[in-house]
Amino acid sequence: MLESSRVTSKAMGGQHWWERILRYVFFNLIPDWIHQKIYTKMAEYRPQITFLPFAVNRGTGRVAPQKPSKRYTEEQAKMKGVAI
């Protein structure tokens, strides 16, 4: 996630000729339906804190399932007395 953010910011704000070409291709040559698909995929990811109840999905779009962290899963198993 951090690497993709770094690459995106460099491509969007960089001044090299290849970054300018990349911006031109992304904003002018890629069809709108592909942009819509990318933005929808980004909006599906909605991380939440696992020790609080999950927020209700009030929108029309789908929400990607969230996998609990390994540490949280282990703590919950210990509390229930189940060995992993």
CB atoms within 10 A of CB 23: 14
CA separation, residue 9 to residues 15, 36, 37, 61, 75 (Å): 11, 20, 20, 27, 37
Say how far apart CA 54 and CA 58 lie, in whole Å.
12
The per-residue pLDDT for range 3-34, each reduced to its tens digit, is 888 888 888 888 889 889 988 988 899 999 99
Q: Which are the contacts of 50, defined by CB distance < 8 A and separation ≥ 6?
A: 66, 68, 69, 72
For the cut 60, the answer to whether the pLDDT of residue 84 exceeds it is no
Contact call for residues 59 and 40 (beta carbons, < 8 A): no
- pTM value is 0.52
